[in-house]
Amino acid sequence: MPRLFAAVLLLSLGSCHATRHAAPPASIGPAAAAALQPFAFMTGTWVQEQANGAIIEEQWSMPRGASMLGSFRRLLGNGATPFYEFTQIVAEQDRVVLRQIHVHGNFETDPRRAVPMELVLEKAAAGSATFVPVPDGTKANAGSLDRVTYQADGPDTLVVTVQPKAAEGKPAESPLVFRMSRVR
């Protein structure tokens, strides 16, 4: 009898382990607002290895109801995390808004970024979304950011392009491009 109990316990734990890490089905909970359905391509965990041994990792929840949630972290080769970013995309009455906060690796708020950055959807197409700072610069808190574009390059690649504003009288800086692979 003890062997049977142990076998059942191991099988139960194994099945709990397998289901605990499975992605929840899209049918659970409220459906995504129509305005957020175009962002479903971002759902998942994405990573990019960098030449210096660091990795960047971005995760996006499925759109549900009027929101979806994202997180970003950079891990150095020694395992340290210098910063995190937490992002929400929310369908509001007449627009889609991306808000983001940035914290240091020790979870202290960067004083220059104590107020969330606020961007609005400029355009969305199949597998692509571009956000720009809200028109009111006092609310945007976007610094030198001109736009951010998320784009699917096939089912297993997410490209995030961060385009800085051109300084007055100077050519635009090159964008930061993160080409991340889906973690399966």
The answer to whether the beta carbons of residues 119 and 98 sit under 8 Å apart is: yes
Beta bridge partners of 68: 89
SS3 38: helix
pLDDT value for 25: 63
Give the residue from 47, 54, 71 showing the smallest Cα distance to 179.
Answer: 47
Please tell me the distance from the alpha carbon of residue 64 to that of residue 30, in angstroms, as a whole number.
6
pLDDT value for 26: 61
- For the chain, 184 residues long, the average pLDDT of each consecutive 10-residue run is 39 39 63 93 97 94 96 95 96 96 90 88 96 86 91 97 89 92 94
Give the residue from 157, 163, 175, 152 showing the smallest Cα distance to 122.
Answer: 163
Handedness of CA 9, 11, 14, 18 (dihedral sign): negative
CA-angle at 176, arms to 151 and 146, nearest 5°: 80
Any idea which architecture 30-182 has in CATH?
Beta Barrel (2.40)
CA-angle at 91, arms to 85 and 93, nearest 5°: 140
pLDDT value for 111: 82
- Spell out where the chain has E strands: 44-49, 55-60, 67-75, 83-91, 96-104, 117-125, 128-133, 145-152, 157-164, 176-182
Beta bridge partners of 8: none
Give the residue from 68, 71, 65, 64 showing the smallest Cα distance to 86.
Answer: 71
Q: What is the pTM of this model?
A: 0.82
Q: Kindly list the domain boundaries of the chain, sorted by start residue.
A: 30-182
